Structure 1
Amino acid sequence: MVRRNSLDVLQSSLRLTSIGVGHTPVWHAAILTHPPAPPLPIQKHSVEPIVFKEDRIRERFFQDFPFEAFRSKTLTERATIADPERIQGKEWWSLGQRTRCPSPEDCIDFCISLNENHNLSISKAYAIATAQFSHLRAIHEIAVRAANREAETYGAQFRGGEINRSAMKSENALRTWVPPRAVGVNAMGDVWSAEPRPSFYALEGKFSGGEAYVHGWKHWNDVTTQRKIYSEERQTPIAE
């Protein structure tokens, strides 16, 4: 249903009654004596988006370092308590003063600190912060690789995460798998199969009723039983 103005409703009713459509409503006199107030104009308020300085720097940082968004982070690292004695303000002129392995948030905080406390532009502060961030991360990665090599030299074994352990278990299980030809080979060098060989019934075009299948299974079972008995007799010591 279309929403109409109160004045439009009155005018429409007057036009209809003037041409003889319907009767004059009882509320015409009341509306003409006390007309409704005109509708208020619709005002469109423009709300400016709230954008912080950190949001623009964070967006640019993850455009330049997209792989930092995929770096694993534990729940305990997310809920760290801020150190009240950490360096900040004008005394913070190097990213390495706070940590040797900075996070993206440390780099963004350092960029804001350079802009607010050292009167540097956002572009220059961002260039300095990201350069020191890359430098510290490279030093940390080289140190971790050297420590892993040293640990492996002394015999340490790194099993990796759950995915690597699952892959190793699967590989070990596949190594224990033996082909079926190495398990049920009979004296004639054949392997019992669910598909019987063509018998004289099949050659004559008749149905054997499963006799060929049962015959092949029994033959294979008899051969394996005899081989097991033969191996047990060879392992039995000879009585003096």
Structure 2
Amino acid sequence: MGRKVPTQVHHAATRLIQGKLLSQPPLWYNAVAQFPPLPLPPRQAVKRSAFDLPTGAQAKAEWANSKDAAETSSTGVERLRREAKPKTMPIVYLEDKVRRRFFLDHPFEAFRPRSLVEQRQLALEHPVQGKEWTRLRQRGRNPNSEDCINFAVSLHLHHNLPLSQAYRTACQQYAALRSEHTVASHIAYLEAKAYGAVFSPSSSEIRRGFELEEQSLKRWNNETDQSADAQLLASKRWKPVVEKRVEDVGGWTRGEDYVHKYKSGQPPTYAPPNPSL
């Protein structure tokens, strides 16, 4: 099917329906007929005539239409007649603006761990919303950075506070709650130690996993060393056993006896093998 202009698509569908080439209208037919698309190009600028140009520009327009201007670059008149290209408006969310300011003021909050794993069901929104949300503590005593940002936006939208004042109020309450949580956690730690609790460095699951891995590697190294020692000991157990005869025991003759026997044609004598080996 050839390419169609968007404003002519529903007209083509109407002709297909009248010609019984389509048994029933498409699902989008009524919506497009009721709300037709905009003509192309949208927001097309109207070209200005030479009579409507500013003072002194009419002569420039006449020169631009002449043959001499064909070989030159574009003039100011051509720039005025050029169609304006449509530009999309930037999409800006107020939360992004507050979030950018928050992490500039609190850079270490970006290092605070957070879980990004989604559960089977999406978490429901907190019941405290809108004008009912007047204190950050209503969302809990241990808020995170997103709670502070949403609270600042809520104060600005629902309580008619300036954005700077809403942001300052949210940050002050956030700092107070974080400080309260830190002091309470430290006191709970001291209280637990007073009752005999022992907090080892391997209290976290990640650290415990690292220690188990190190123990298994050490055990593997010990087993490898033990197997190497066992092989060396087994190789030392098997030694060649040579029986000494009486005639072989004597002083060192510098090989003269062996040469004398060789020249005289005496066969060499060897000890019989030991059947016990």
**How high is the TM-score relative to the length of structure 1?**
0.50
**How high is the TM-score relative to the length of structure 2?**
0.44
- When Rg is computed on C-alpha atoms for both structures, the one with the higher figure is 2
